[in-house]
Amino acid sequence: MPGTGNNLAFGRFLKFWRGVHGLSQEELAHRIDSSPRHISRMENGSSRPSETLVLAITEALQLGKRDSNQLLLAAGYIPVEEKLDFGASQLKWLRKAMTLTLRALDPYPTTLTDSSTNFLMVNKGWVGFFLKTVPQAVLDTFTNQYDFLFSRRGAGTIISSWEDTLAVILMSLQQQALFTNDPADEAIFNKLASHPNVPPDWQQRSARIEPMASFRVQIELEGRLQKFFSVNRMVDPLGPTVLGVRPHFIINTLYPEDESLDLSGLTAGDLQHPLLFY
């Protein structure tokens, strides 16, 4: 019986790592209390390993977190994402790099968030942009991007197609929670799904909309209504990876649809925010 794509990928990974460590099928089978025949069947894709067996193999081969995640994914299992403490001493270099990055992106409004969209840093452009519609005392209280987007006290007043945007965000969170079965993902979804501004038909709305990686906002600048779109970039502090669930941070930047729009005024004056670090 031919193996599935995932099983064949797992077999290639398994054979590769055996070669790296110079192990025969017999030696690996002995280490994981299995049989050489089973190792052979997994490598040719005719047998799918259990998650427990994949973890035993990663331990037997002493694979690091990145390579263990790749092996789990190749076998069709979801690795558990590790949470990184952005304030940890070993990430001092990353905090400095992100500060320089956000400053370089001025005057385009930019934030840095963790994988749960908690705000970690903002730039002057972001503060100046939202101070045009959100009072300073209110802006300073928001700690999560999704909370900010869902709230009419935050960015909810200026998002184009606001109810559709919330519906698409919720659908993304719902599917992530179903995919990972992670209580943390489920908690984030439940919190936002219960928000009073969520349209009752959000599931049906989202099902009709092709999802995008960003949202659009519109705001009055210099007497004219201007439209902006967002661009997200993922920052992986552990380096590049081909596949895998990895700790990551997200840079979100708003760019004007009108490329000639001068945004330099957004950074003028003495701008302050608890997460503005320059």
Judged against a pLDDT cut of 70, whether residue 80 lies above it is answered with no
**Overall number of domains in the chain:** 3
Q: Is residue 156 included in any domain, yes or no?
A: no
Are residues 276 and 138 part of one domain?
A: yes
Are residues 187 and 167 part of one domain?
A: yes
For residues 123 and 121, give the distance between their C-alpha atoms in angstroms, rounded to a whole number: 7
Q: Is residue 260 included in any domain, yes or no?
A: yes
Are residues 259 and 146 part of one domain?
A: yes
Q: Which three-class secondary structure state does DSSP give residue 156?
A: helix
Range of the domain at 177: 161-214
Q: Which residue has the tokens 């970039």?
A: 233
Q: Which two tokens stand for residue 161?
A: 């197609």
Query: Minimal CA–CA distance to 215: which of 268, 177, 142, 159?
Result: 159
Are residues 134 and 89 part of one domain?
A: yes
For residues 155 and 168, give the distance between their C-alpha atoms in angstroms, rounded to a whole number: 16
Exposed/middle/buried for residue 87 (C-beta within 10 Å: 0-12, 13-18, 19+): exposed
Q: Is residue 265 included in any domain, yes or no?
A: yes
Q: Which of 74, 100, 119 is the last residue of a domain?
A: 74
Q: Express each pLDDT in 106-159 by its tens digit.
A: 999 999 999 888 999 999 999 999 999 999 999 999 999 989 988 989 988 888
Q: Express each pLDDT in 9-23 by its tens digit.
A: 999 999 999 999 999
Q: Name the CA radius of gyration of the chain, rounded.
A: 23
Are residues 9 and 143 part of one domain?
A: no
- The segment with the largest mean pLDDT, out of 68-72, 98-102, 201-205, 232-236, is 98-102
Q: Is residue 179 included in any domain, yes or no?
A: yes
Exposed/middle/buried for residue 167 (C-beta within 10 Å: 0-12, 13-18, 19+): buried
Mean pLDDT of 74-97: 86
**DSSP run (H or E) holding 68:** helix 65-74
Q: Is residue 190 included in any domain, yes or no?
A: yes
Residue 28, domain CATH: 1.10.260.40
Confidence label for 221 from pLDDT (cuts 50, 70 and 90) = confident
This prediction's pTM: 0.74
Residue ranges in 107-248 assigned as alpha helix (H): 124-130, 136-139, 145-150, 162-180, 183-193, 202-207
Judged against a pLDDT cut of 90, whether residue 188 lies above it is answered with no
Are residues 223 and 138 part of one domain?
A: yes
Are residues 273 and 241 part of one domain?
A: yes
Residue 98, domain CATH: 3.30.450
Sheet holding 224-235, edge to edge: 119-122, 110-114, 249-256, 224-235, 216-221
Are residues 145 and 38 part of one domain?
A: no
Are residues 68 and 9 part of one domain?
A: yes
Q: Which of 74, 107, 127 is the last residue of a domain?
A: 74
**The pLDDT value given to residue 1:** 43
Confidence label for 242 from pLDDT (cuts 50, 70 and 90) = very low
CB 191 within 8 A of CB 185: no
Q: Which three-class secondary structure state does DSSP give residue 140?
A: coil
| Average predicted confidence (pLDDT) for the chain | 88
Are residues 247 and 112 part of one domain?
A: yes
Torsions phi, psi of 254, nearest 5? Answer: -100, 130
Are residues 94 and 144 part of one domain?
A: yes
Q: What are residue 114's DSSP bridge partners?
A: 249
Are residues 228 and 142 part of one domain?
A: yes
In terms of residues, how long is the chain?
A: 278
**The pLDDT value given to residue 85:** 86
For residues 124 and 276, give the distance between their C-alpha atoms in angstroms, rounded to a whole number: 7
Q: Which of 46, 74, 102 is the last residue of a domain?
A: 74
Minimum mean pLDDT range among 83-92, 93-102, 106-115, 142-151:
83-92
